[in-house]
Amino acid sequence: ARMENHTRISEFILVGFKSHPGSQVLLSVLFSTMYFVTVVGNICMILIIRMEPKLHTPMYFFLGNLSTLDICYSSVITPRAALAFLLGRRSISYAGCASQMFFFSLFGTTEAFFLAVMAYDRFTAICNPLLYQVVMSRRLCVLMVVGSYLSGCINCTIQTGFTFSLSFCGHREIKHFFCEVAAVIHTSCSNTLVNELVMLAVCGPIIVGTALVVFVSYGYIIVTIIQMPSAESRHKAFSTCSSHMVTICLFFGTVFFMYAQPGAASSSPSKSNIISIFYTVVIPMLNPFIYTLRNREVKGALKKQLKRKGFFK
């Protein structure tokens, strides 16, 4: 009987942002535009870092990886959502939903670890500049990136495995615009207490742990910057870090709301839909701008490449 429950549902219906047709077209255009900007912006970032030897440092190695991750992260959700709004086809197959959840959890968790790794990199550069080259070796940088992805893999396997071991009896509507863990759990007809506890037990330490690394690193960084003797070095150090801080506050602020408080997401689906847009669509789009516009080295490298291609005299 248990197996019958599993196979009874072959698809789900995503009902996030259901409203009159005019606004659906607007949502589709908005999502498509944001996705286009995300892909183009992040590809530009990757190319600038690849082409400019000056940017072959740990900080830009992580930034290049973050851009790749953001393209993948956004690709899991945004194009499908934009099409659903446009065509009104809101159904997603059981397997499609499971794979969307798997990759969303993988890239989302990895992003949290990346932000922690990048904060540690800035902490080492500003607080221990003499040891920076020794500490942030190429080997450590690669290990940190691989470790971030592995952590993401472990989390998404647990989340997806536990969620899709539940029974879905006929209630097919997911109150979200993608297969987000809490929203899918909410549609099950099984007792979901264990799932909610697992989600809290796994996501809680990941979010709190990575946020802690980030905020402790930046605490030390701010103290070190304040103590710098010259105004110029203070300004230079702060301009590299302020951009990181913007991303971090946006990402962890929205993720805390969604995953660090049990029941917050399911108690108000429309609010959680809007907040989800931030960390699934808006942040991957903003990252290249935040990191380039606030960064003299990247702007210099971009000008250099444009000059080489004949755009500037």
Which residues in the chain land under pLDDT 50? 1-7
Q: Phi and psi at residue 155, in whole multiples of 5°?
A: -60, -45
Q: Phi and psi at residue 153, in whole multiples of 5°?
A: -60, -45
pLDDT digits (tens, 9 = 90+) for 25-53: 888 999 999 999 999 999 988 998 898 88
Residue 20: per-residue pLDDT:
65
Residue 186: per-residue pLDDT:
85
Number of structural domains in the chain: 1
In 3-state terms, what secondary structure has residue 92? strand
Residue 290 lies inside a defined structural domain of this protein: yes
Percent over 70 (pLDDT), the chain: 90
Structure tokens at 57: 């440092």
Residue 299 lies inside a defined structural domain of this protein: no
Number of residues written out for the chain? 313
Q: Which residue has the tokens 């669509």?
A: 281
Residue 282 lies inside a defined structural domain of this protein: yes
Note down the domain range covering 46: 11-262+269-294
Residue 254 lies inside a defined structural domain of this protein: yes
CA atoms within 13 A on the CB side of 79: 9
In 3-state terms, what secondary structure has residue 91? strand
Tally Cβ neighbours within 10 Å of residue 166. Answer: 19
Residue 1: per-residue pLDDT:
36
pLDDT digits (tens, 9 = 90+) for 115-135: 999 999 999 998 888 899 899
**CATH number of the domain that residue 236 is part of:** 1.20.1070.10
pTM equals 0.88
Residue 250: per-residue pLDDT:
85
Residue 2: per-residue pLDDT:
42
In 3-state terms, what secondary structure has residue 90? coil
Longest dimension (CA), the chain: 73
Structure tokens at 254: 């929205």
